[in-house]
Amino acid sequence: MLEKVTAVRYVDPLRAGGSVPGVVETDDLGTYVVKFTGAAQGLKALIAEVIVGELARRLGLRVPPLVLVDFDPAVAAAEPDQEIQDLLRASRGVNLGMDLLPGARDFRPGMIEVAPSEAGRIVWLDALTGNVDRTVHNPNLMVWHGRLWLIDNGAGLIFHHRWSGARASLLKAYDLSGHALGAHGPDVAAADRELAPRVTAELLREVVALVPDAWLADEPGFGSPDEVREAYVGHLAARAAGSAHWLPTCFATPEELRAAEERKAAATLAGRPAWLKQVPNRAGLASVEQDWSRHVGD
């Protein structure tokens, strides 16, 4: 089982992520980045963090230690932001913590040497789990003591958001052409030969057993948490066995990525209202565009 600790101090929210995780000190003298059950992404993101992260660890990839954090909103009474307080009050109970790596930096392509073998294993894991969120623009990789560490695996396991359609995506090939490690020559074929035979039902049962029952108890269409666990095991084991169908082989060059970004920006500009088209700096307008998107959504 994952170690269970108790929050003793809420330090700060991390506003860069959409789920607004928080830095939390706990009774084991640890400091963790905690993802909360009350966040907009819901429990599925936490389930994916556990399954993908712990599977990665067992396949030899570096993932900061995960713990279950018993959280009482009273430890964050001094937090002044009302929206953060609402999130924390909705997250009483067991949440997920990832060990804070002090001094770690966000990975950027080219900042360190990454062997094709390591890049290939990471890309292979992302292809297996359907994690399309480890891109050049959002790497979800940290560099700590000169080594890569995988974080934010909650976007994986896309299939579990609609179990009725999971079978149809069993051998789906996801587009990983813009993967954060694409420029490092990932040897995905070698990773497949090494890792696919290791993703057995036995290994997967060991991993999914780490997910708390309470996070699986209300899944529609299943009679018990163990039934949900077996569904994860069956899907991922079958997907690993059929890796020839989804193995990524092609990665965009930096020039191709820039060209795609320019095309996307041009299409976005064409769809803007007239007053936004007057603003010349595309890169500097991210916050303006987000505000506009929220306005349209309202």
- Which phi-psi region, left, alpha or beta, contains residue 2 (left: φ > 0; alpha: ψ -120 to 50)? beta
Mean of the pLDDT values across residues 51-58?
98
H or E stretch including 81?
none
Residue 58 has pLDDT above 70, yes or no: yes
Amino acid found at 166: A
pLDDT: which is higher, 272 or 57? 57
Cβ neighbour number for residue 116 with a 10 Å cutoff: 15
Q: Using CA atoms in the order 53, 55, 61, 64, what is the torsion angle rounded to 10 degrees? A: 30
pLDDT of residue 5: 98
Residue 210 has pLDDT above 70, yes or no: yes
Mean of the pLDDT values across residues 225-253?
96
Whole-number Å distance between alpha carbons of 176 and 144:
24
Query: How long a stretch of residues is the chain?
Result: 298
Cross-sheet strand order for the sheet of 105-106: 105-106, 141-144, 147-150
- 106-to-35, 111, 173 alpha-carbon distances in Å: 18, 10, 27
Contact 149, 104 (CB under 8 A): yes
SS3 278: coil
CATH code at 106-245: 1.10.1070
Residue 179 has pLDDT above 60, yes or no: yes
pLDDT of residue 279: 56
Q: How confident is the model at residue 17 (pLDDT cuts 50, 70, 90)?
A: low
Residue with tokens 């992302």: 126
Residue with tokens 């976007």: 155
pLDDT of residue 294: 39
Could you tell me the sign of the dihedral formed by the alpha carbons of 106, 109, 111, 117, in that order? positive
Query: What are the tens digits of pLDDT across the range 130-147?
Result: 999 999 989 999 999 999
Query: What are the tens digits of pLDDT across the range 249-296?
Result: 889 887 777 777 777 777 777 777 766 656 555 444 444 344 333 333
pLDDT of residue 278: 62
Least confident span in 58-62, 113-117, 172-176, 269-273: 269-273
Whole-number Å distance between alpha carbons of 240 and 232:
12
Residue 297 has pLDDT above 90, yes or no: no
Least confident span in 9-23, 47-61, 175-189: 9-23
Query: What are the tens digits of pLDDT across the range 28-37?
Result: 999 999 999 9
Task: Decide: pTM greater than 0.75.
Answer: yes
Radius of gyration of the chain (CA): 20
pLDDT of residue 258: 77
Residue with tokens 């609402």: 86
Mean of the pLDDT values across residues 67-72?
98
Q: Any idea where the domains of the chain sit in the sequence?
A: 4-103, 106-245, 254-297
Q: Considering the chain, what percentage of its residues have pLDDT values greater than 90?
A: 80
pLDDT of residue 295: 36
Helix axes 116-129, 225-241, angle to 10 degrees: 130
Residue with tokens 């497949």: 192
